[in-house]
Structure 1
Amino acid sequence: MRTFAAATLLFLAGSSIVNAAEPAKAATPSGDASVRQLLDRLEYKYDVDEEGDFRLTFGLDEKDDGRSQLVFVRSPVETYGAHQVREIWSPAYLATSDEFPAKVANRLLEASHESKLGSWAKQGRYAVFVVKLRADATAAELDDAVEAALRSADEMEQELTPGKDEF
C-alpha cells in the first residue's frame, strides 16, 4: 500500500494536474491590444492604468441618483491547463482593517453562490466582484461580463454602505 501511495505522489508531483496553474503573463503599460480592440468596438470610454489594465467608469440610470461604477478589464491572461481567462473586476466595499467583518464576509459568500456569472473576492481591504472570461471572448461576451460586474458591485455597494457611492 505504501508503494502505491508513494508512486501516486510521484506521479502527481510531475503531473499537469498539480502544476496546472501558471502565473499571468505580464501586461504592457499600454494594455492588451485585443482588449483595446473589443472596448473600442463596444464604444466604451476607458483609460489604461500603470499596470496596463483598462479602467472604465459607468454612469448608471438616473433613477439610481446619478450613481457610477468603476470596472477594470485586466490585461493579463491567466492560464490553468488548457484554459486561458481574463478577469473583469468591479469594487464594492472597502474594509476599515485587513479583515472583513464576519457579517460582510458571509454576505459576500451568499452573493457568490447566487451569482450566475462571477463571484466575490478579497483584494487587500477591497471586496471586488470578479468575472473570469475566456481570453478570446467576443465583444458581446465582454459586454455581458462588464455588465454583470458593474451591476453586481453597485448593488452590493448600496447594500453594504447605504447612501454611499465610493466606487
Structure 2
Amino acid sequence: MTSLSLALGLGFGLALSLPLSAQETERTVPDAGIKAQLTELGYKYELDDDNDFKLVFEVGDEGRSQVVYVLSAVETYGEHSVREVWSPAYESATEDFPGPVANRLLEASNIAKLGAWVKQGKNATFVVKIPSDASKEELDDAIDAAIKLADEMENELNPGQDDL
C-alpha cells in the first residue's frame, strides 16, 4: 500500500499521511456494474480517458445540454465505499474563483439535498457521492440531481451560455 503525504498550508506545519488503495493508484477499468445499470436505464454514454462514463443530456425546452460523469473508480474511507457522479457548471478564467461566485456555490451546497459543489482546478463541479453498491434507481437520482443543479448553476452564473 502506498501513501500520500499532504502538507496543509494553514501555517501549522501539519502533514498527514493518507493511505491510497491500489484501486486509487492504478488506472481504473470501466465498472461493469455501472455499465449494466446505465444500459438498463436506457442511457447512452461514452468512456473517457479514465474509463469513466460520460453522458450528455438535453435539458429543458431551450435546447440546453448538460454533461455528467459517472466515475468507475470507487473511493473508500473507513467502512464507507462511494462512487462519484460529477457535472461541471462553471469555469473560471483563473485558478481563483471570484468571491461572489465562490459564495454562491457555498450557499447552493448548503441547500442541496443530494451532493455539493467542489472546486476542481478552474472548474466548479457538482458532485454526488453515492454508495458504491447503489441501485440503478439511486444512480438515476444522483445523475438527475447532478444534471439539474449543474445546469441551473451554469445558467445562473453565465446566462445564455451552455458550454458545459
TM-score tier after normalising by the smaller chain length: 0.7 to 0.9
CA contact (8 A) 1:21 1:81 kept: no
Which of the pair is proportionally richer in helix? 1
- Quick check: which has more Rg, 1 or 2? 1
**Cα offsets for 1:39-82 (capped at 9, x unmatched):** 111110000011010000001122xx100000000111000000
Identical aligned residues as a percent: 52
Q: What does residue 40 of structure 2 align with?
A: 41
Gaps of 5+ in 2: 1-15
1:133 paired to 2:130:
yes
Tell me: CA distance 1:33–1:149, structure 2 relative to 1, closer, same or farther (3 Å).
same
CA distance in 2, matches of 1:141, 1:119: 16
CA contact (8 A) 1:22 1:79 kept: no
Which of the pair is proportionally richer in strand? 2
Q: What does residue 12 of structure 1 align with?
A: none
1:110 paired to 2:107:
yes
Aligned length: 147
Q: What does residue 51 of structure 1 align with?
A: 50
> Cα RMSD (Å) of the superposition?
1.6
Q: What does residue 3 of structure 1 align with?
A: none
1:97 paired to 2:94:
yes
TM-score w.r.t. the length of structure 2 is 0.85
CA distance in 1, matches of 2:60, 2:118: 26
Q: What does residue 148 of structure 1 align with?
A: 145
